[in-house]
Amino acid sequence: MDRLIEIVLADRRGRVVAVDERLAPLTDRLIAFVAGGGKRLRPRFLRCGWLAAGTGPEPAGLGTVAVGLELLQACALLHDDVIDRSDTRRGAPSTHRAVAGEHAAAGLLGDGDHFGVSAALLLGDLALAWADDLFLEGSLAIGPAAVAAAAPVWQAMRTEVLGGQLLDLLVTAAPEGDPGLAAADAMAVNRWKTAAYTVERPLHLGAALAGADPECVVALRRFGVDVGIAFQLRDDLLGVFGDPAVTGKPAGDDLREGKRTVLVADARAALANGGVASDPDGLAELEAGLGAAGADTERLAAIVHASGAPQRIESQIARLGESAAATLDTAGADGRPVLAEPARDELRELLRRATDRRA
């Protein structure tokens, strides 16, 4: 994939450098970010969507669309890190921090932090524009019917993930209200910002490019929603209880950032509800400490743990996993499996990884 990304982006890189050679280092930084990391989940789900349709072997254009998905994700990460003011990404400085760090060393003028944010903003825009280029190039290479079938899916995916990001912004800024509503909001952000965009829509996109029938698309999307939500719930647990050596993020990072996850919303609701886990002091301590500078994240993690939330989230992940596994074996009107065989094996493996991972 890394090599494919460099090949596919070579002529686009050339066009930026043709504007001015001094743009090469920033452009190469973006390409290295895309080529160098991530779990490649979206390309794998895209490929499974294609294979599930049983249309035949993957065409070369599918790889181009896959690079487009990775570029879309690069835009989301660069811009999210600016919005969340995150200093690190994948265990290294985030793009805006890295560029800010080079500002002084290069003897540039002005506010280095703002320079870093501005560069990350524009590089994210470039990634988003290139993502669209590659979706169109790849699907045109597959054929005109592929463009017509896949364009609405690609378009819906982009609008949904941006809607999810805007909702995250609003929900994070909203005054703390009813913990039950907070859990519903956290789940809606999860649904649109992560689940649809990481699993459901890449599967759907691959199936649409392959000309899959509606039964196949429905099954893939149902599987995708379950796995996508489970994936994010696992992320919530890792963000509080994950091993920094494996996740590449500091311990308790979500608590330090005050992220409004389903896990934390569940803990707040349990602590507030007057039941067995009720603990007004713990609740007050948790709400005061979330996102506060210098908060004791080990103590906050212990409060979340004592609320019973982690076990409930684990059960939810297990239920979603069972539902997804059942969808994989769906039989169609003709009694045969709706999803073609090689896709089902790979999807079973991806389901296991999404729900059971440590990083």
Where do contacts with a second copy occur on this chain (CB under 8 A)?
Answer: 12, 15-16, 18-20, 22-23, 26, 75, 79, 82-83, 85, 103, 107-110, 114-115, 118-119, 121-126, 128-130, 132-133, 136-137, 140, 144, 147-148, 151, 155-156, 158-160, 162-167, 169-170, 172-175, 188, 192
Q: What gap in Å lies between CA 187 and CA 88, rounded to an integer?
A: 25
> Quick one: angle between helices 179-189 and 262-272, nearest 10?
170
Residues whose CB is less than 8 angstroms from the CB of residue 161 and which lie 6 or more positions away in sequence, other chains included = 72, 76, 192, 193, 196, 197
If the CB atoms of residues 112 and 248 are measured against a second copy, the closer one turns out to be 112
Q: How far is CA 330 from CA 26, 47, 76, 218, 337, in A?
A: 48, 19, 33, 11, 6
User: What distance, in Å, lies between the first and last C-alpha atoms of the chain?
Assistant: 20
If the CB atoms of residues 170 and 246 are measured against a second copy, the closer one turns out to be 170
CB of 270 to a second copy, least distance (A): 23
If the CB atoms of residues 102 and 215 are measured against a second copy, the closer one turns out to be 102
Q: What gap in Å lies between CA 129 and CA 119, rounded to an integer?
A: 15
If the CB atoms of residues 19 and 333 are measured against a second copy, the closer one turns out to be 19
If the CB atoms of residues 116 and 321 are measured against a second copy, the closer one turns out to be 116
CB of 211 to a second copy, least distance (A): 17
CB of 307 to a second copy, least distance (A): 23
CB of 124 to a second copy, least distance (A): 8
Exposure string over 245-259, b if 16+ CB within 10 A, otherwise e: eebebebbbbbbbeb
* 93 beta partners: 88
CB of 188 to a second copy, least distance (A): 6
